[in-house]
Amino acid sequence: MSHQVLARKWRPSSFADMVGQEHVLKALVNALDRDRLHHAYLFTGTRGVGKTTIARIFAKCLNCEQGVGSQPCGECSSCLEIVEGRFLDLIEVDAASRTKVEDTRELLENVQYAPTRGRYKVYLIDEVHMLSGHSFNALLKTLEEPPPHVKFLLATTDPQKLPATILSRCLQFNLKNMSADRIVAHLQHVLDEEDVRSEEAALWLLAEAARGSMRDALSLADQAIGYGAGTVLQQDVATMLGTIDRQALSRVLEAVIQGDGPGLFAEIEQLAGLGTDFQSLLDELLSFLHAIAVAQAVPEAVSEDPADNRRIGEFAASLAGEDVQIFYQMALNARRDFPYVPEPRRGFEMLALRLLTFRPVTRGEINAIAAADSADGPPPAVGVEGGGNDAKKSDVADAGLEDAGAPVTQEPQESQQDTVSREPPPVPDGGFALAELTPEHWLALFPALNISGVTRSVVSNTVLRKVDDGHLSFQLDAEQAGLYSDVYRERLQQALSEYFTRPVTVGIEQGKLEGESPALHRLRLKKERRQAAVEELQQDPNVKLLLEEFEGRLDTDSVCPLD
């Protein structure tokens, strides 16, 4: 027996088998069951959403030997002949190949004659918008007042090209594109029935590539089965479709957020080596930013691949809403200018440079500047020979990694006490040994760990409390509870195991910090550098001369150390 493609094998044979289009099916079912039939129906919509299928099922409902109704028997000779395409009273016409007025006149010559076998003579005209103006004129009179035994079923993907005189003589039904989750569910059902092993992530790739067309999704599934030698797996489907790896897209966005220019361009170089279409990459970036914005504003509206939901949720939690909007607008402007760039890769690289150049200041940076400006008393003295620095906790409040973009901790004013902050011990040759690790080593150990993105931001707000025979106990700033999930503990545990080349376990408790976290340490150093830069400018003789000559003042808010 010859192979039958999935799109034909699984074409619905009744309204009950249809997936989606409930708004159309309800109207047709009620009309058939209540005997309120019109003489002309127009079905519109993009390719592969069910226009011709609905028309054929409707023809079966009209001519089933069991009587007119919304549930044809599917077993009588009329139903079987319609399914097999040999029913004499169902005249299917492809308007794209019969555009001349002579073709239309020839078609209508037999309208007056009664059906050969069926109850109704049904004219199914596909892509009706392709008819010429004279053909439409020839069709008008018959379409408005056909004989009682004739029904017209018209289908088109471009209803705007139809004359208003044709539209006014038909009942019009607009078929919608299929949602991705509905396509995935149907593909899963079909592949299970076909006994084909599949991965859900692969089905999401097929559904997105189909762009709302169930027929296209089934055709792509056929192609994927052939490519995967009888299986539909994510890696095979991604390679077949040339789909952009969402993990790579996440790394691109993380590099932008962290201000990591070399890392960003290294990722672009790797994507170029894989033959990536950079215009498609830009489109994927826009879609990804859109999903992040939706997740921030209306989390329950996110309906995407579950594998993407975790990444989208991480970025939605770590990025401010206004930052996402700025990124999206810059990417959208780049998409508009893309046709004018000499090479797609260069166009994407220019977008990357814009994103890095105009990367919004993080909340931690803004709050750090505000804390520095409002601090009382003389600036802290910078220690020498590894000595400590005197600083108030208010000076290191509201701290966060500059490039992480996550909300950060702020110490209550009433709990501020003078403390002595010490620099972390130097990293020994070969790194720290687990047996010698102490809580004081955490500030020096943290930069060496292989973690990034949101994970690095969250972990930067922890303090190492205890090391007990391969188990490290951490304290997380309580104000970070909104971002924390167990996945960050697992990533920290994996990074520490890689660093010490042996399995370690990690425990994280939330509470008020009793010590200086890497985020607070970094902010303290940055504030000290900034204060030192301000003092250097204030003592500079050239600056003093300019201020005196032009009666100017030094804008300390704009001072930022170069390192």
Residue 317 pLDDT more than 90?
no
Q: What average pLDDT score do residues 368-378 get?
A: 48
pTM: 0.55
First CA to last CA across the chain, in angstroms?
Answer: 74
Report for 238-252, 372-386, 466-480, 544-558: range of highest mean pLDDT = 466-480
Separation CA 92–CA 82 (nearest Å): 11
DSSP track, 202-243: HHHHHHHHHTT-HHHHHHHHHHHHHHTTSEE-HHHHHHHHTP
What phi and psi, each to the nearest 5 degrees, are found at residue 363? Answer: -60, -40
Sheet with 471-477: list strands edge to edge.
462-468, 471-477, 505-511
Most confident of 93-97, 370-374, 506-510: 506-510
Q: What is the token pair recorded at 472?
A: 């490290």
pLDDT at 133 over 60: yes
Which CATH number does the domain 246-357 belong to among 3.40.50.2300, 1.20.272.10, 3.40.50.300, 2.130.10.10? 1.20.272.10
CB atoms within 10 A of CB 388: 13
Q: Is the distance from CB of 91 to CB of 121 less than 8 angstroms?
A: yes
pLDDT class for 388, splitting at 50, 70, 90? very low
Q: Check residue 296 and give its pLDDT.
A: 85
pLDDT of amino acid 560: 76
> For residue 66, which amino acid is it?
Q
Closest CA to 120 of 14, 44, 175, 41: 41
% of the chain at pLDDT higher than 70: 85
Q: Which CATH class is domain 180-241?
A: mainly alpha
**Residue 169 three-state SS:** coil
User: For helices 180-193 and 200-210, what crossing angle results, to 10°?
Assistant: 120
Q: What is the pLDDT of residue 30?
A: 92
Residue 359: is its pLDDT beyond 50?
yes
Residue with tokens 């009587």: 67
Strands (E), 28-160: 40-44, 90-94, 121-126, 150-156
What would the DSSP string read from start to end of 431-455? Answer: ---GGG--GGGHHHHGGGSS--HHH
- CATH homologous superfamily of domain 434-516? DNA polymerase III, tau subunit, domain V (3.30.300.150)
The owner of tokens 């069926």 is 118
Residue partners of 189: CB distance under 8 A and separation at least 6: none
Q: Return the structure tokens found at 95.
A: 């308007």
- Which ranges of 159-305 does DSSP label H, i.e. alpha helix? 164-167, 180-193, 200-210, 214-227, 234-241, 246-258, 261-273, 278-297
The pLDDT of residue 114 is above 80:
yes
Confidence of residue 397 (pLDDT cuts 50, 70, 90): very low
pLDDT in tens, 249-282: 888 888 888 888 888 898 898 888 878 888 888 9
Q: What is the CATH topology of the domain spanning 6-174?
A: Rossmann fold (3.40.50)
pLDDT at residue 244 tops 80: no
Q: Domain ranges in the chain?
A: 6-174, 180-241, 246-357, 363-409+520-563, 434-516
Q: By C-alpha distance, which of 467, 400, 465, 402 is closest to 435?
A: 467
From residue 451, alpha-carbon distances to 411, 446, 492 in Å are 26, 9, 7
Mean pLDDT of 488-503: 91
Number of other CB atoms surrounding residue 366 within 10 Å = 12
149 or 101, higher pLDDT? 149
Contact 491, 462 (CB under 8 A): no
Give the per-residue pLDDT at 74.
85
pLDDT digits (tens, 9 = 90+) for 464-476: 999 988 899 999 9
Average pLDDT estimate for 72-76:
88
